[in-house]
Structures are given as C-alpha cells and as structure tokens.
Amino acid sequence: MSKTETKLSKRRLRSSYFTSIVSISLVLFMLGLMGLLILNAKKLSNHVKENVGFSVILKNDVKEVDMIRMQKNLDASDFVKSTEFITKERAAQDLEKDLGEDFISFLGYNPLLSSIDIKLNANYANNDSLSVIEKRLRTYTPVKEVFYQKNLINLINENIKRIGLIILLFSILLLSISIALINNTIRLTIYSKRFLINTMQLVGATHRFIRGPFLGRSIVQGVISAIIAVSILSAIIYFVQKELSGLMLFKEIDIIAILFFSVMFLGIIIAMLSTFISVNKYLRIKTDDLYY
C-alpha cells in the first residue's frame, strides 16, 4: 500500500471516529435534556400541588391560645407543608385592597373571621387524602368552616397525569430512536473494518481477541461522547439558572449528578452493546459475503 493510500485510510478512520463521537454526543445530549425536562416537570407539578390547600375559618369567640395550639398541631402534621394565621383585621385589609373601597366604614363593623391558610405536601394533594384531611380539620373545636377548591384540585391532577403520560411516551420514543441512531453509527464504523476482522480470523485470532480492541474503543467513545454531552447540558443549566431562575431551578446537585452519571452510563453501555453485536455479525459472516 502506498503512503498516499495509507494517509487516506488513516484520515478516513479519524473522520469515522470523529463522526461517531459527534453522533453519540448529540444523542446523549438529547437524552440528558429529556431527563432535565422530566426532573423539572416533577418539581413543577409538586410546586403547583403545594400551593393548593385549605382555608380554615375560625369561630369568632375562639381564644388566642387555642388558635396558637391548633396551628402548632397542624404544623406537626404529615400532610401540612406550611400554615399561616390570618387575623380578621388582616383579612379585612386584603379584602379592602381587592374591592378598592372601605367596606368596614360602610357596614360599621368587620364581618370577617380569623382563619388559618394551610398549604399541603404534594403527596396529599389528591381527592382521597383531601376528604380525610377535611374531616380531621372539622374535628378541631375552634373550626367554624373548612374551604378548598375541589374542582381546581381535580383539574390540576388530571392535567398533571396527562402531561406525565405524554412525557413518558415521548421519553420512550426518544430512547428508542437514540439507541437506533447510536447502533447504526457504530455499525457503519465496524462495517468499514469488516475486512480487517476477517483477516484476523484467517490468521487464527480468537473471537475474544478480535472483539477486545473494538470494545475498548467503544468504551472510550462512550466516555468522550458522554463528557461532551454533559458539558453542553452543564452550560444549559448554568444559563437557565442565571437567566430564568424564576421558572426553572436546578438546586438539587445530587439529582443532577445522578443524571450526568446516567448519561455517561447509557453512552458506555449502548456503545459497547452495539459494538459487540456488530463485531459478532462479521465474525460469523462468510468471506464471500463481505463484498455485499
């Protein structure tokens, strides 16, 4: 083989290797992006659920010590995320702002009652739990009435389930496409070396010996591709955290780290499996069939 042909062969090999890494990196990046979307969809649904709760109206003749005792009991409950005591004076001020006029001067007295606003933990924002919680709240002596928007909670839960199903189906579809793309990219790379595999077989090399370098190279490809994908994801997270922190937050470092390691693990495993299957194909093929 002439020097020109050798250089051309090496150039094609480097080009094939580079193309394979770029292709795998882009696929892993899309998978990581979907992972971030799923993480933030869960956080967003929890945020919406935790802003739905009860408004507990208290009796007019309730002593302050009883109100404080009740609020402390609620704060210690598993279903409560937070509570806020609202005096009748504050309730009047809030209503006055909403109406834009002083209704107390018109009526001559304040008709509103003190209340406690309860925000629930996300796990309890469902109809079954809400019914049980409502019955429990009504057992407190200071309670006059309990209000919560049942229809709104039903709508929130239905929409969250619908969105969750769409994201799940899209994730499965994207994962399937990603595996197919990585597999095809690696198969093309192995295809270009089918004659080398056949030559090694003819000189007596074992299947394990032939597969070794290809699997080792696939691991390197998977790691490099994952590092590139994770770097792009990190840049996106930094940008989003800096510019759109009010919409999306990435404060759970441990969860983000798990996502990054998952991307790297997926890259290595998919690359190794695709390489293993492709190499085995050409280990079993007849010499005459290599030309087709």
Non-local CB neighbours of 71 within 8 Å, separated by 6+ positions: 83, 85, 116
Same-domain pairing of 186 and 133: no
**In the chain, where does DSSP find H-type helix?**
3-50, 64-75, 88-99, 103-107, 127-138, 150-191, 194-202, 207-243, 253-284
For the ranges 35-44, 233-242, 263-272, the one whose mean pLDDT is highest:
263-272
Same-domain pairing of 97 and 176: no
Residue 73 is part of a domain; what is its CATH number? 3.30.70.3040
Same-domain pairing of 72 and 142: yes
- Between CA 22 and CA 224 the distance in angstroms is 9
Structural domain boundaries, residue 284: 3-47+165-291
Flag whether pLDDT at 8 surpasses 60.
no
Last residue of a domain, one of 98, 123, 148: 148
Q: Which of the four pLDDT bands, split at 50, 70 and 90, describes residue 3?
A: low
Tell me how crowded residue 247 is: count the other CB atoms within 10 A of its CB. Answer: 9
Flag whether pLDDT at 250 surpasses 60.
no
Q: Which of the four pLDDT bands, split at 50, 70 and 90, describes residue 1?
A: very low
Q: Which of the four pLDDT bands, split at 50, 70 and 90, describes residue 5?
A: very low
Last residue of a domain, one of 114, 148, 182: 148
pLDDT in tens, 140-173: 888 888 877 777 777 777 777 787 778 778 777 8
Model pTM score: 0.57
Same-domain pairing of 172 and 275: yes
- CA-CA-CA-CA torsion sign (226, 231, 237, 239): negative
CA distances from 159 to 165, 169, 180, 213 (A): 10, 15, 32, 50
pLDDT in tens, 56-72: 888 887 777 778 888 88
